[in-house]
Chain A
Amino acid sequence: MNQTSPSRLIGAAVDWVEARTGAIAFIAPLLTHHVPRNAKWWYVFGSATLMFFTIQIVTGVCLATLYAPSAAEAWESLRYIDEQVPFGWMLRALHGWSSNAMVVMMAIHMLQVFLHASYKFPRELNWVTGVFLLFTVLALAFTGQVMRWDQDAYWGLGIGASIADRIPVFGNQVRGLLLGGPIIGGETLSRFFALHVFVLPGAAIGLVGLHLALIMKNGISEMPKPGETVEPATYRERYEKRMEKDGVPFYPDAAQRDMVFCGACLVLLVVLAAVYGPFGPGGQPDPTLIDTNPRPDYPFLWIFGAVSLLPPASETAVMLVAPLVGVLVLVAVPFLSNAGERAPSRRPGMVLIASLAVMAIAALTWEGKTSPWSPVMDGWSALPTPGHFIDGRTPLQVQGANVFQFAQCRNCHSLDGLGGERGPALDAIATRMTPDQLMRQIQQGDGNMPAFGRNLDSAQMTALVSFLTTLRPDFEAPAMIPGAQLPLPVRSMPGEVTTPVAAGTR
């Protein structure tokens, strides 16, 4: 009784637990192991990824207590979480934003490791487990999108199923396994729920553990210096000597930066979630509501973009083979070169590859976000012909503008920047194409334009072409047949007010 001060009690309790678990003996070396002094701020991205993963687990478990993983009720339950459950929307917002943040942090972490060649001996397997983690996290992101069970989720699954369908011989079987049945339905959601909350998080936790154990085993790589090469035979010895000489303990020297960076990330996450709110759910998952415009989540927009920019002939091959090649190449990175220079300045080729990859993904993401290849489905009925293309036109030309809207030309062609971008903007089409060329293009189409010859009668076609020939900026000459000195006799166009004049005479 006389000795029981609080600190003594706590100390005794800690000793009691330590004697039975060895927890401190296990953790202390992890905290105090020596890391390179010059690591500085380069090495915080892995920790931030881990922090976001932790947030995903915590918020994910909370969401699982509220979510109804049934195709008939999932969408309603999300709306309930958003609208009725106290803080429910904030929980969903944190989970959604943290998911995106995790993918971004992971990509930066991977890029840093690639640029510094930290994957070289003896850290080949650190890299390989990291690659597996990347794909696990992307799979979590995709299955997470399915959990929203809205129209984007439904048609996103349809895209997945269509890609599976292209697999030779076993396409239908693979698709069946993916969807858990012959259609996208209740079993599909249950299957993806099992993946999203059991299988993939389990795999991710295991891989994170392995990744961390490998970091402890191999140590954190030192900053690369030009000329300081990795020699597998002597590397470990040199590394250990260096850590003894001028390494610093992980805690607190390196951990302080991790702490500050993770803290800042977390604050940013909370702000993003509070300001921008949760993602979706979008429209009700009823496949008969086809007035929809399915788009994938951010991590997959670049794939969505790539898929639409591929030439149709190569599409199946690329869709099926590219992911395999991607995995193989990423896994193979440390085995292709596990020794030698690590400094980016001595590996310009690798820097070039990384830059190209980043730029390609950024460009494709932008393309996927803006998707200029998609028709504006209600362009014809929502976007009026601008006044300056109507003013001063003949009655026939105004009817031609009517045909332009009526035949849904606007869905793929813009005027004044409004309308589809699938085809070229037509604001100045008359300076590029003669009436005959316009007629031919509309009637016959080409690879990316349907032929309208069967769908428009002669009056509609005449009016449309007559309208299109007025689409040119003032004082700019209309298109002429190349090389012609004088206008060739064009078929007389009823309603044409101006007679063609030779280029440049206006």
Chain B
Amino acid sequence: MSDPSETRDGNAAPNASGAKPCVNCGCAGKGTGSRVNGDARRGFMFRFGAALLGVGGAIAAVPILGTLLAPARRQASAWVSLGSADAFPAGQTRFATFLNPIRQPTDGDAAKTACWVRCISPGKFQVFAVNCAHLGCPVRWFAQSRLFMCPCHGGAYYEDGSRAAGPPPRGLFEYPWKIDGGNLLIEAGHLPGLEQST
């Protein structure tokens, strides 16, 4: 602060006229030349400090915003096995579970995921998410009436997943599937939902 070499006369213009009251002490502009130079120096120091804060803050903001906003990024889904395709008898709809391929060490049970597998005929499947297309509650399959029913708001779906009744705006969400080495694989990851932006 006291290093005179930092003073730059050229920057002292605003108060140099001496007509205005001094900001710091209200001494009616009767300050000496060094007072004027001091004001200029302090103004510069403030701006310099602000610039330093700005640079530092911008750098620090990268990890802050980065971690906060990272979850908005879409992650790639992955193929995951539901076990042997033969375990799903033709004409029936069965409950199956898998561990979500996108999971964190702290997820606990929450990484477990359920789905409904409908085997239309040998080698031909439909795999539905348990999440109701209305508000995501878990739908249950009733083999007798061949309906999926949702416990939350009474949505109902036919066995092919199409909407049968109630508030859902569409049919059940389906996972892409394939048979590999006799196993039924589905492509899973994100919590199923209305994915308009993908």
A and B touch in the complex (CB under 8 A): yes
Given A183-B190, A308-B152: A159 in contact with B136 (beta carbons within 8 A): yes
Asked if B20 is at the interface of the complex by the 8 Å CB criterion, the answer is no
Inter-chain contacts of A284 with B (CB < 8 A): 109
Among the 9-residue stretches B1-9, B28-36, B140-148, the one with 4 or more Cβ atoms under 8 Å from chain A is B140-148
Interface size on B (CB < 8 Å)?
60
Whether the pair A154, B110 counts as a contact (CB closer than 8 A) is: yes
Q: Are A171 and B196 within 8 A (Cβ)?
A: yes
Among B38-46, B163-171, B175-183, the stretch in contact with A: B163-171
Question: A370-400: which have CB < 8 Å to B?
Answer: 371, 373-375, 377, 380
Is A408 touching B151 in the complex (CB atoms < 8 A)? no
Which of the 9-residue segments B56-64, B86-94, B111-119, B120-128 touches chain A? B111-119
| B108 nearest CB neighbor, chain A only | A72
Q: Which of these, A173, A316, A377, contacts B197 with CB under 8 Å?
A: A173
Number of CB contacts from chain A to chain B under 8 A = 213
Q: Quick check: A182 and B152 within 8 Å, CB to CB?
A: no
For residue B158, CB closer than 8 A to chain A, the reply is yes
Query: Is the pair B109, A158 in contact by a Cβ cutoff of 8 Å?
Result: no
Contacts of A22 in B (CB 8 A): none
Once the chains are docked, how many angstroms separate the CA of A448 from the CA of B167? 9
Q: Chain A residue with minimal CB distance to B195?
A: A172
Q: Which residues of B contact A (CB under 8 A)?
A: 68-69, 71-75, 95, 97, 100, 102-114, 130-131, 134-140, 142, 144-147, 149-154, 156, 158, 164-169, 189-191, 193-198
CB within 8 Å for A312 and B145 given contacts A172-B198, A182-B75, A285-B109: no
Is B109 in contact with A287, judged by CB distance below 8 angstroms? yes
B102, B140, B146, B195: the one within 8 Å of A291 (CB): B140
Given contacts A288-B97, A290-B114, contact A71 B107 (CB under 8 A): yes
Please name the residue on chain A nearest to B107 by beta carbon: A185
When distances are taken between beta carbons in the complex, the residues of chain B under 8 Å from A445 are 164-165
The docked-state distance in angstroms from the alpha carbon of A182 to that of B195 is 12
Enumerate chain B residues within 8 angstroms of A235, measured Cβ to Cβ: none
Q: Is B166 a contact partner of A448 (Cβ separation < 8 A)?
A: yes
- CB atoms of B152 and A184 under 8 A apart: no
In the docked arrangement, what's the CA distance between A369 and B73, Å?
37
A163 to B156, CA, bound (A): 19
Q: Is the CB of A285 within 8 A of B147?
A: no
Q: Chain A residues near B156 (CB, 8 Å)?
A: 375, 450
The docked-state distance in angstroms from the alpha carbon of A190 to that of B68 is 12
| A182–B191 touching, CB < 8 Å | yes
Interface flag for A432 (CB, 8 Å):
no
Provide 22 A-B residue pairs closer than 8 Å at the C-beta atoms, listed in order of the A residue.
Answer: A70-B108, A72-B108, A159-B135, A159-B152, A161-B193, A162-B136, A171-B194, A173-B197, A180-B71, A181-B102, A182-B190, A183-B100, A183-B190, A187-B104, A288-B113, A290-B139, A308-B167, A373-B166, A374-B154, A449-B165, A452-B145, A455-B146
A residues apposed to B, CB below 8 Å? 70-73, 154-155, 158-159, 161-163, 165-166, 168-177, 179-190, 284-288, 290-294, 304, 307-308, 310, 312, 315-316, 371, 373-375, 377, 380, 406-409, 411-412, 422, 445, 447-452, 454-455
CA A291 to CA B139, docked complex, whole Å: 9
Q: Would you call A307 and B135 a contact (CB within 8 A)?
A: yes
Given the contacts A173-B197, A185-B107, A290-B114, A450 and B158 also touching, CB distance less than 8 Å: yes
> How far is B154's CA from A310's CA once the two chains are assembled, in angstroms?
13
The chain B residue sitting closest to A72, CB to CB, is: B108
- How near does chain A come to B96, taking the closest CB pair, in angstroms? 9
**Residue numbers in A under 8 Å from B195 (CB-CB):** 165, 171-172
Shortest beta-carbon contacts, A-B, top 6: A72-B108, A186-B106, A158-B136, A450-B164, A185-B107, A290-B138
